[in-house]
Amino acid sequence: MDRMKQVVFDPYKYLASPGVGRRLVRVKAKHIFFSQGNPADAVFYIHSGRAKLTVVSNRGKEATVTLLATGDFVGEESISATCHFHTATASAITVCVVLKIDSAEMLRVMHAEHEFSDLFLKFMVTRSIRIQADLVDQLFNSSERRLARILLLMAEYGQPGEPTALIAPITQEMLAEMIGTTRSRVSFFMNRFRRLGYIQYKGRIRVHKSLLNAVLRDQLPEEDSSRPALPDPERARSSLA
């Protein structure tokens, strides 16, 4: 009777180990997973590290589309019937360990294992919601609020578990690309966040939860203000409570 029992497929165990059509790859910081325009023949699952997705326009201008973290898939265009080339470049910000899954194997396991297809579908829906939120953020929020949101996402505030307050290395130029402003404006906002006590910024950026409170309560100072707003003592006490 026991011999007749089928082994239950565990998608996380599948993603944790190499096998037929998939292998673990270590990608050094600043090295690429794949380049825009290259043949799309594999999907990557990030085990650890931080990466970014960038695109280059016909005029040669590069823009950072999104940041990638542990648990993300990238290169999903490889399993599309209509897209045979990568539409962006994925590169490592920090050292990354990824599982490279051949497109044929990815399609096979999605068709054969419902638990895996459910996991991948959940990821794709979550990414779609994130992209929609990014678009709304770009259209309606100030560049300072967009910067605050990017820093909070990188620190993983609002995600399950304890947040990572010390975020992965990122340049002001990259932040400026992501929020659609200049590096000098990012520098201005970062210095103001530091004076307000929202972040520590000396080489690496450490994000304090007070920045989340300021965003949720709409307490960020006016974007064009040259001085940080004076904190309200009552609100400050309540945020610490």
At 19-57, the pLDDT tens digits run: 999 999 999 999 999 999 999 999 999 999 989 899 998
Compute the average pLDDT of residues 186-206: 89
| pTM of the entire predicted model | 0.75
Compute the distance between CA of residue 235 and CA of residue 112 in angstroms, rounded to an integer: 54
Longest pairwise C-alpha distance within the chain: 75
Whether the pLDDT of residue 176 is over 50: the answer is yes
pLDDT, mean over the chain: 84
Residue 164's pLDDT is: 65
Compute the distance between CA of residue 172 and CA of residue 133 in angstroms, rounded to an integer: 22
Whether the pLDDT of residue 189 is over 90: the answer is yes
Compute the average pLDDT of residues 183-196: 92
DSSP state of 79: G
pLDDT bin (cut points 50, 70, 90) of residue 158 is low
pLDDT bin (cut points 50, 70, 90) of residue 120 is very high
| Arch. (CATH architecture) of 2-137 | Sandwich (2.60)
Compute the average pLDDT of residues 107-115: 95
pLDDT bin (cut points 50, 70, 90) of residue 83 is confident
Compute the distance between CA of residue 238 and CA of residue 241 in angstroms, rounded to an integer: 5
Of 62, 87, 66, residue with least CA distance to 77: 87
- Determine how many CB atoms are found less than 10 A away from the CB of residue 191: 13
pLDDT bin (cut points 50, 70, 90) of residue 228 is very low
Fold classification of 142-240 (topology level):
Arc Repressor Mutant, subunit A (1.10.10)
pLDDT bin (cut points 50, 70, 90) of residue 227 is very low
Residue 159's pLDDT is: 62
Q: Can you read off the two tokens belonging to residue 71?
A: 């648990």
Least confident of 7-11, 78-82, 96-100, 235-239: 235-239
Q: What is the pLDDT of residues 54-80, one digit of tens each?
A: 999 888 888 888 889 899 999 999 998
Least confident of 51-65, 116-130, 196-210, 222-236: 222-236
SS3 45: strand
Residue 121's pLDDT is: 95
Whether the pLDDT of residue 232 is over 60: the answer is no
Domain ranges of the chain: 2-137, 142-240
Residue 19's pLDDT is: 95
Compute the distance between CA of residue 241 and CA of residue 230 in angstroms, rounded to an integer: 19
Provide, for the chain, the percentages of residues in helix, strand and coil under a 3-state DSSP scheme, each rounded to the nearest 5.
40, 20, 35
